[in-house]
Chain A
Amino acid sequence: MRSWLLAILLLCGGSYAGAAQDYMNPTYGYSVQVPDGVRMLQPASPLPNHGITVELGGRRNISIDGSYDAAFFGSAMAALRQTLSYEHWAGKPFVRATRLAGLPAARAERGHNGRRQVRIAAYRTRGAEIAVFYEIDLDTDTTHAARDEAVFNSILRSFTLHPMPR
């Protein structure tokens, strides 16, 4: 009986199955799909809107952000390494090159003090205009890592580029 109940709970509450919520960011030219059943946080109007934070419960969240490369990082890897250094990621993150929606990207991940953190940084050049970089972060605990990473990966897969305003 208990195993049946557990199976039902896992099926109902253990995933974010169902319709997805679309999020579109016209300023930085991207969109993602976020599973139903999670809360998306955005800054209140008229604040600048770089992206969303997806609350997964407790201190677990996924953050999706687009920004101008006002720091002149120049590449996804440089953006990743610099922003990690700003935030003093303790421990030694595992870093590798990857791609996001066809863009050159870099990925860092680490386990630290019961937390599991992943960051993807992707870099979009725009000719003479200042480049844009995207950051997608997962910050979760090891208990929920597998489940939350599935959500994270689904968001990564849904990440789509759109034209930026001129």
Chain B
Amino acid sequence: MNEDRPFGYETLKLRAVFVPKGNPGSISAADITDYFGHDVVRLRYSWHGSEGGGLELEPAPDRADGGESAAGPMQDADDPGFAPSGPPTARAMPPTPTLARAPRYVDPVRTAVATWRLTAAPSASKLVPSADRRQPVPPPQVAQFFENRAIYEEMAKRLDTDAEFLMALSSWESGWGDAHNRALHNLFGVTNHGANNLSFASDQEAADYWVTHYGSYVRGARTMDEFIAGLRRAHYNPHAGYYDNVKKRLETVRKYRNTDRPE
């Protein structure tokens, strides 16, 4: 799926298909409702089926039965509960390959299908069905990296952007906070005139330093593409492949992002 946020903060009617991969027979529509506590949520991000999870989403057909059609995206603009707020809502989320191949989704494991009107706001990181919260086991340094989540979230707040964009960059630049960068509190691999990495008194100081020097380039970035464009404007790296590598790290961050959040 698109890793940007094609739906921004708009309200969309979506159908979610929960496939408990490797965990057959353990989920039902009731599980899903229980998980959210209600059937009204708002998307903050576009959604990803995490590699270890089983969340797949597609725009809902204009019917309430959670129909099985893999028809293209549909916006229920006539519905009073649906309030599109801008052009991004017009972007189509492609049907998942599975659904495209199987208009009537029949799976050897139990599959729950439900339709929501999405208007409330749980964090996107919680959008993993309860029966499938098992996380991929992260390498040890990744788990440690996520202990700094609050610092990235605070940076993101100051820069009006997404903490996970900053974490994607930081993971690439610090090697998920390898021993060397951890010792230096160097979250972003910044250097002393291109030579040795700089040393900071604390992780927070490193974060402040980065915000001061480069924050203006990424301020207000709503998508990873916008964030990367900001890095390009800062001439962050002359190596052509650099930006693709950083951009792709968002997927890795999202793959492991719940590792420090117990159920």
Contact = CB atoms under 8 A, between A and B. Distances in A.
Interface of A: 26-27, 41-53, 63, 65, 67-72, 83, 86-87, 129-130, 132, 135, 137, 139, 164-166
Nearest to B170: A70
A77 B60 CA distance: 41
Given A45-B194, A51-B239, A67 B180 contact: no
A87 to B, nearest CB: 6
Contact of B191 (A27, A69, A129): A27
B227 interface: no
Given A49-B194, A53-B238, A70-B249, 7 more contacts: A42-B194, A48-B189, A65-B237, A83-B241, A86-B245, A130-B139, A130-B176
B193 A48 contact: no
A87 B240 contact: yes
B196 interface: yes
Interface string B188-214: 111111111110000000000000010
Interface size class of B (residues with CB under 8 A): 35 or more
B178 to A, nearest CB: 5
23 contacts: A26-B195, A43-B235, A45-B194, A46-B191, A47-B190, A47-B236, A48-B236, A49-B195, A52-B238, A68-B173, A68-B178, A69-B175, A70-B245, A70-B252, A72-B139, A83-B245, A86-B245, A86-B247, A129-B175, A129-B179, A130-B141, A135-B241, A165-B197
A129 B141 CA distance: 8
A69 B196 CA distance: 19
B248 interface: yes
The 7 closest A-B pairs by CB, nearest first: A68-B175, A86-B244, A48-B189, A53-B238, A45-B193, A49-B194, A130-B175
A165 B176 CA distance: 15
Interface of B: 139, 141, 171-176, 178-180, 188-198, 213, 234-242, 244-245, 247-249, 252
A27 B196 contact: yes
A44 B239 contact: no
A154 B244 CA distance: 27
Nearest to A135: B241
Nearest to A42: B194
Q: Which of B139, B191, B198, B242 has the most C-beta atoms of chain A within 10 angstroms of its own C-beta?
A: B191
Given A63-B239, A86-B241, A71 B193 contact: no
A48 B236 CA distance: 8
A129 B190 CA distance: 19
A11 B118 CA distance: 70
Contacts of B192: 45-46
Nearest to A24: B195
Contacts of A63: 238-241
Contact of A65 (B175, B180, B239): B239
Contacts of A65: 237, 239, 241-242
A48 B186 CA distance: 10
B22 to A, nearest CB: 20
B241 A47 contact: no
Contacts of B235: 43-44, 47
Contacts of B175: 68-70, 129-130, 132
B234 A71 contact: no
A68 B235 CA distance: 20
A39 to B, nearest CB: 11
Contacts of A45: 191-194
